[in-house]
Structure 1
Amino acid sequence: MPSPLAAQRKSLAFSSRVLRRIMDNPRSNETAQSRLKQVGMMSVLYHMHISHIPLTLTTIIGQTGLTRSGVAETVDQLLARHILAETMERNSLGRGTARRFHIDEDLFEHPDAD
C-alpha cells in the first residue's frame, strides 16, 4: 500500500496534468467557464475512480447533483480532448446500454510529462 505522501503526490500530479491539458489548450468554441467546469469535473471523476465508483452518467449525476444534460455536455468536451474514453456497456437492468467512461491512462503513467 502506498504511503499517504505518495498518494498525495500522485493526486497532485494528476490534477496538475489535467489542469495543463485543459487550460493551456483552449478550443476555439470554449469559454473560460467551460474549461474550469472541465477541470472541476475531472477532479470529481478522479476521486470516483480512486474510490472504485463506475464512471457512468448516472453515478456522475449522483455525485455532482448536475442534470443529465449538464454532465453529458462537460463529459463530451472531455471526450473531444481525449482526456476520457467511452465504452458502451449493458445498463444495470441488463436491457439497454449505458455510457461508461475511463480516464486516459497517460494521465496516470506520465503525470509529470507534457
Structure 2
Amino acid sequence: MTSTRKPELQAQRFSALTLEEVLDKPVEGETPQSRLKQVGMMTVLYLMHQRHEKLTLANIKEVTGMTRNTVKESIDPLVARGILRETIVKNSAGRGTAWQYEFGPEIIEKLKLG
C-alpha cells in the first residue's frame, strides 16, 4: 500500500475510503457503535501498516490494549466486508499458529486510483 504520493495525502485517502466502505455501506443488523469501532480499528491497522508492523492478532492486541476476543470481534466485520483478508500463519515461536491480516486487494486498488 505504499505510494509515491505524499504520506499525508495517502492517509487522507485511506481515511476517506474507510469512511466510505464502513459508514456508507452499513451491513444489515450492524449497529452504529460497531461501524464506529470498525473505523477506529482501520485507523490502528493503517498506522501499524505504515510502521511495517505485522498485522497479527497478538500485535493488534498489544497496540490497542484490548483482549484477544475483543480484537477479533472488531476485525471480523472488516474481514466479512472484504476490507481485510485473514490467514493463519506460524506464530513468532514457530510452533503454534497466529491470525494475520492484510488489506484486501480491492482496497489497495482503490487507493491507487485517482
Deviation at residue 53 of structure 1 after TM alignment: 0.5
Query: Per the alignment, do residues 67 and 85 of structure 1 end up closer, same or farther by CA in structure 2, a change over 3 Å counting?
Result: same
Deviation at residue 92 of structure 1 after TM alignment: 1.0
For 2:102 and 2:47, the matched residues in 1 are separated by 13
Residue by residue over 1:13-55, the C-alpha shift from the partner in whole angstroms, topping out at 9 and shown as x without a partner, is: 0110011000011111210000000000000000000101100
Deviation at residue 104 of structure 1 after TM alignment: 1.7
CA contact (8 A) 1:57 1:100 kept: yes
For 1:105 and 1:47, the matched residues in 2 are separated by 18
Paired amino acid for 2:76: D
For 2:68 and 2:34, the matched residues in 1 are separated by 16
SS of residue matched to 1:33: helix
Higher relative contact order structure (alpha carbons within 8 Å, sequence separation ≥ 6)? 1
Asked if residue 26 in structure 1 is aligned to residue 23 in structure 2, the reply is no
Q: Aligned pairs, how many?
A: 111
RMSD: 1.7
Paired amino acid for 2:19: L
Return 5+ residue gaps in structure 1 as ranges. Answer: none
Query: 1:96 corresponds to which residue?
Result: 96
Q: What TM-score comes out, normalization by structure 1 length?
A: 0.90
Deviates further, 98-107 or 75-84: 98-107
